[in-house]
């Protein structure tokens, strides 16, 4: 968020310049007062822009150090208008009339820059804090709205879940062959996970992996040898957290947008890096479908990460592989 508030800076600069103009009006002629007004305005406005620049930088992170740098910069900026007008004859005469000449002027200008810089920094800091608070409130409202929309969608799609679970349980008891019973059991686990975590912001990687294993079992029944998966997860990462169904989304994208055949199987690799990054890589053999793209699912996942943790996902595509890296929180 980079807001320099130029209108606010202009108003404050004019106010500071007018104060200096009024204070000197009875002691200077009109021309000198106008030069004083102009130099004060330029000094204040340049200081304001410099302070805004420092506040919007990512480094240093401490607002204390930002204040030190900003005020020091304002002290230097205060010398600029004087450098411009010092060659006027009346300015030169006043400098020469001072006991220590130019050194006294420089000292006074630096002190004025410090006072003005501190005053402007205080106002700019308050404006930035108010803006950050407002942005945080808007993001929280957006997250609440999206959660409510997700709950509504789930409620609209949810037709008597207990009836469905009971039906799946009854169907499983009616089937005596191992493979169909296992398929029904996995289907029940997938549906139970989605319902149980429909309002959760984050789940553990262990829970997400159990859900993904059940989902992969269903896919393997469909694709058989045309789908090959390799899962390597460090034990230290199992208690890390991530948005629910995010891993399943990446697996689903790989299956949805690529051809899987026995002679050219779709390969999906799931692994952790340094216990902080979950990497999902799949081979590429894209389906020829008009308008087929990965945008919506990945954009949705990216937005969820931004709202929940202010982190981002990393997407890379080479000639033969498609890789998505998501942070573990």
Distance from C-alpha of 250 to C-alpha of 248, rounded to nearest angstrom:
5
Alpha helices in the chain (DSSP H): 6-24, 30-56, 63-77, 79-85, 89-97, 102-157, 161-174, 178-196, 205-223, 246-257, 295-309
Counting Cβ atoms within 10 Å, is residue 1 exposed (0-12), middle (13-18) or buried (19+)?
Answer: exposed
For CATH 3.30.565.10, the residue range(s) in the chain are: 223-327
Cα 128 to Cα 55, 77, 314, 319, distances in angstroms? 8, 22, 30, 45
**How would you label 236-253 residue by residue, b for 16+ Cβ within 10 Å and e otherwise?**
ebbebbbbbbbbbbbbeb
User: Minimal CA–CA distance to 259: which of 288, 234, 233, 232?
Assistant: 288
Quote the CA–CA distance of 99 and 23 in Å, as a whole number: 23
Instruction: Please check whether the domain covering 223-327 is classified as CATH 3.30.565.10.
Output: yes
Where b means 16+ CB within 10 Å and e means fewer, 160-196 reads: eeeebeeebeeebeeeeeeeeeebbebbbbbbbbbee
Tell me what pLDDT residue 101 has.
55
Cis status, amide bond into 60, omega within 30 of 0: yes
pTM (2 d.p.): 0.51
CB 294 within 8 A of CB 255: no
At 218 the three-state DSSP class reads: helix
In the numeric block, the tokens 């009616």 are attached to 174
Q: What is the pLDDT along the chain (329 residues), one digit of tens a residue?
A: 456 788 888 888 888 888 877 766 666 667 767 777 887 888 888 888 898 888 888 888 888 899 999 989 888 888 876 766 565 545 555 555 555 556 777 787 888 888 888 899 998 899 888 888 888 888 888 888 777 776 656 555 554 555 566 666 666 666 667 777 777 777 777 877 877 776 778 899 999 999 898 888 888 888 888 899 999 999 889 999 998 888 988 998 898 888 888 888 999 999 998 888 999 999 988 877 655 555 677 888 888 888 888 888 999 988 889 999 999 98
């Amino acid at each position: 968020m980079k807001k320099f508030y130029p209108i606010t800076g202009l108003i404050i600069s004019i106010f500071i310049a007018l104060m200096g103009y009024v204070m000197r009006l009875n002691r200077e002629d009109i021309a000198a007062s106008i030069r004083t007004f102009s130099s004060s305005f330029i000094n204040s406005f340049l200081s304001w822009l410099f302070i805004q620049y420092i506040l919007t930088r990512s480094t240093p992170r401490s607002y204390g150090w930002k204040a030190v740098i900003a005020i020091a910069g304002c002290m230097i900026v205060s010398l600029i208008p004087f450098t411009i007008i010092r060659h006027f004859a009346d300015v030169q005469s006043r400098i020469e009339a001072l006991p220590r000449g130019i050194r006294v002027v420089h000292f006074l200008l630096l002190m004025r820059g410090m006072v003005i810089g501190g005053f402007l920094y205080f106002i700019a800091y308050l404006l930035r804090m108010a803006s950050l608070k407002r942005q945080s409130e808007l993001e929280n409202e957006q997250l609440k709205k999206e959660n409510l929309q997700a709950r509504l969608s789930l409620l609209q799609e949810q037709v008597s879940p207990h009836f469905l679970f009971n039906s799946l349980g009854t169907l499983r008891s009616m089937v005596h062959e191992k493979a169909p019973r296992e398929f029904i059991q996995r289907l029940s686990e997938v549906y139970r996970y989605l319902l149980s975590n429909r309002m959760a912001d984050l789940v553990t990687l262990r829970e997400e992996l159990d859900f993904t294993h059940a989902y992969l079992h269903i896919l393997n029944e469909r694709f058989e040898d045309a789908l090959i998966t390799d899962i390597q997860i460090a034990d230290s990462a199992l208690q890390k957290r991530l948005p629910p169904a995010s891993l399943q989304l990446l697996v689903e994208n790989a299956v949805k947008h690529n051809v899987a055949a026995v002679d050219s199987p779709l390969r999906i690799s799931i692994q952790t890096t340094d216990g902080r990054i979950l990497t999902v890589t799949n081979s590429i053999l894209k389906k020829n479908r008009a308008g087929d793209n990965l945008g919506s699912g990945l954009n949705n996942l990216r937005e969820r990460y931004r709202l929940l943790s202010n982190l981002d996902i990393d997407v890379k595509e080479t000639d033969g592989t498609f890789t998505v890296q998501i942070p573990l929180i």
